[in-house]
């Protein structure tokens, strides 16, 4: 079975347009209940801070209860917090209402199984196959019940703190924390404060419409300026649903997901904590791969999407993986990407090594990499469009072994991503622009 609605991170779209409507959310809950818990059970629902979250929360609650499932509502909480609570509270499934790094007028719905892991492609396809059926309403004696979980934030906060050594303190560190006006706006500052850090919070005043607005991991400029301005040791940027993290060093320089993987992998290898290969994606910087291999660390590439990084980690026995965007997975700590937990692991390395983030990240040479996003009206077959393939072939021939070209359709937006990487920035930019122009010309009107 194929998936048409589910992308790399659930179902996502503009609120009020199919599929992001209240009516669709109700049918989706009914279909998911049939696939995930056909004999009834419990589902946990959380969300980020978008104003539309209230509507989708109510629609999903109605659909699950009507299908005979009990519902636990936790309100705004990071996506990895929902995964954690789904597992620890013994729910059969978890649901997150979020469009992650997208603007507030988008929203999305994604699922976890009872183990706190994202659903397989096959399971998502099975849910899609049921969407043509009308929503089920069982007789009164078989309806589910709904209740709010009052201590959800404290439970997740305690878990995050438990992922660092009991004797580790962050006293002496001044940290700017940018929560993107999103789901982590309460829990992230509290975790850092309880561990002893002096914090400067920004992006922690959500109003339902300012999530990811000129802040967070997709717009780190404010964090860079603030970190330098208040003379902080570093800055931490989360995205709207808290599963991504980027950092900023004391000089205001951005430290991306590849560099954070380098910091963790090199430290863990030295301490004997690293197991199996480190897993990145097709978009991971070539400097990360070469740097790790120079240390004798195996590096593998998965398809883009943290779910595929997780799959490859499990196949190979690895513990550490992630994406350039900051989706990092510390599999010995969590079952999914967790921005706050990943940041805490980096802070551990900083405290234990006595070195700054700038020093640690500087150990990895980054190859110039250009990413051009080409917006298209509809998906089309990139692999069978001759002008595009000719442009890619020209670029690959010119780069030879000195670089890479990656061309792919986004799984979450109507966008074609063109990535070119090599030793010379001007060459990389020119080749990326050439391929992007061929995509624009060949895209269906």
Residue 51 to residues 28, 102, 149, 204, 441, Cα–Cα distance (Å): 20, 14, 20, 16, 38
- Confirm if 428 and 403 have CB atoms less than 8 A apart: yes
C-alpha–C-alpha distance, residues 187 and 337, integer Å: 16
Q: What pLDDT is stored for residue 382 in this prediction?
A: 87
Q: How many CA atoms lie within 13 A of 203 on its CB side?
A: 33
DSSP 366: P
Closest residue by Cα to residue 421 from 381, 369, 382, 373? 369
Residue range 156-165+172-252 in CATH 3.40.640.10: no
Region 70-75: mean pLDDT is: 98
Region 207-236: mean pLDDT is: 97
- pLDDT per residue as tens digits for the range 60-71: 999 999 999 999
- pLDDT per residue as tens digits for the range 82-98: 999 999 999 999 999 99
Write out the catalytic residue numbers.
Answer: 100
- Confirm if 443 and 418 have CB atoms less than 8 A apart: no
Q: What pLDDT is stored for residue 304 in this prediction?
A: 87
- Confirm if 313 and 333 have CB atoms less than 8 A apart: no
pTM for the whole thing?
A: 0.91
Do 156-165+172-252 and 255-361 agree at the fold level?
yes
Predicted confidence (pLDDT) at residue 2 exceeds the cutoff of 70: no
C-alpha–C-alpha distance, residues 430 and 64, integer Å: 52
Give percent of the chain above pLDDT 90. 90
Q: What pLDDT is stored for residue 255 in this prediction?
A: 98
Domain spans of the chain? 11-150, 156-165+172-252, 255-361, 369-442
- pLDDT per residue as tens digits for the range 139-189: 999 999 999 999 999 999 999 999 999 999 999 999 999 999 999 999 999
**Reported confidence tier of residue 230, pLDDT bands at 50, 70, 90:** very high
**Reported confidence tier of residue 321, pLDDT bands at 50, 70, 90:** very high
C-alpha–C-alpha distance, residues 381 and 443, integer Å: 9
Q: What pLDDT is stored for residue 397 in this prediction?
A: 94
The secondary structure of 300-317 as a DSSP string is: EEE-SSHHHHHHHHHHHT
Q: What is the mean pLDDT of the chain?
A: 95
Give percent of the chain above pLDDT 70. 99
- pLDDT per residue as tens digits for the range 246-269: 999 999 999 999 999 999 999 999
**Reported confidence tier of residue 444, pLDDT bands at 50, 70, 90:** confident
**Reported confidence tier of residue 1, pLDDT bands at 50, 70, 90:** low
Q: How many CA atoms lie within 13 A of 160 on its CB side?
A: 33
The CATH class given to the 255-361 domain equals: alpha beta
C-alpha–C-alpha distance, residues 169 and 166, integer Å: 8
The CATH class given to the 369-442 domain equals: alpha beta
The widest CA-to-CA distance across the chain, in whole angstroms, is 69
- pLDDT per residue as tens digits for the range 340-392: 999 999 999 999 999 999 999 999 999 999 999 999 988 788 888 899 999 99
Predicted confidence (pLDDT) at residue 19 exceeds the cutoff of 90: yes
What's the fold here for domain 11-150? Alpha-D-Glucose-1,6-Bisphosphate; Chain A, domain 3 (3.40.120)
């Amino acid at each position: 079975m194929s998936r048409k609605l589910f992308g790399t991170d659930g179902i996502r779209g503009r609120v009020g347009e199919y599929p992001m409507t209240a009516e669709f959310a109700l049918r989706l809950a009914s279909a998911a209940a049939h696939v995930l818990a056909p004999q009834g059970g419990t589902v946990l629902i959380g969300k980020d801070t978008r104003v539309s979250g209230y509507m989708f929360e109510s629609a999903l609650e109605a659909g699950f209860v009507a299908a005979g499932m009990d519902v636990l509502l936790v309100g705004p909480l990071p996506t990895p917090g929902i995964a954690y609570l789904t597992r620890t509270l013994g729910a059969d499934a978890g649901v997150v209402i979020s469009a992650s790094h997208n603007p507030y007028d988008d929203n999305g719905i994604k699922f976890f199984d009872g183990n706190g892991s994202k659903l397989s492609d096959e399971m998502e396809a099975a849910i899609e196959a049921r969407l043509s059926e009308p929503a089920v309403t069982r007789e009164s004696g078989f309806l589910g019940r709904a209740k709010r979980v009052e201590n959800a934030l404290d439970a997740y906060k305690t878990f995050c703190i438990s992922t660092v050594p009991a004797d580790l303190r962050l006293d002496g560190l001044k940290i700017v924390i940018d929560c993107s006006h999103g789901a982590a706006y309460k829990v992230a500052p509290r975790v850092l404060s309880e561990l002893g850090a002096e914090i400067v919070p920004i992006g922690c005043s959500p109003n339902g419409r300012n999530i990811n607005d000129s802040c967070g991991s997709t717009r780190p400029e404010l964090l860079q300026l603030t970190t330098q301005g208040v003379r902080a040791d570093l800055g931490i940027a989360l995205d709207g649903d808290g599963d991504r993290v980027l950092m900023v060093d004391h000089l205001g320089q951005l430290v991306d997901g590849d560099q954070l993987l380098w910091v963790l992998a090199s430290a863990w290898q030295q301490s004997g904590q690293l197991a199996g290969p480190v897993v990145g994606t097709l978009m991971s910087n070539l400097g990360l791969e070469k740097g790790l291999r120079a240390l004798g660390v195996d590096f593998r590439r998965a398809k883009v999407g943290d779910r595929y990084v997780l799959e490859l980690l499990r196949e190979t026995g690895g513990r550490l993986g992630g994406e350039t965007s900051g989706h990092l997975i510390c599999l010995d700590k969590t079952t999914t990407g967790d921005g706050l937990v990943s940041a805490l692991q980096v802070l551990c390395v900083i405290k234990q090594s006595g070195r700054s983030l700038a020093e640690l990240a500087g150990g990895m040479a980054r190859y110039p990499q250009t990413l051009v996003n080409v917006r298209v009206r509809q998906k089309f077959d990139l692999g069978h469009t001759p002008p595009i393939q000719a442009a890619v072939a020209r670029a690959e021939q010119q780069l030879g072994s000195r670089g890479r070209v990656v061309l792919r359709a986004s799984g979450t937006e109507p966008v074609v991503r063109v990535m070119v990487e090599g030793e010379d920035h001007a060459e990389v930019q020119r080749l990326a622009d050439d391929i992007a122009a061929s995509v624009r010309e060949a895209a269906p009107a």
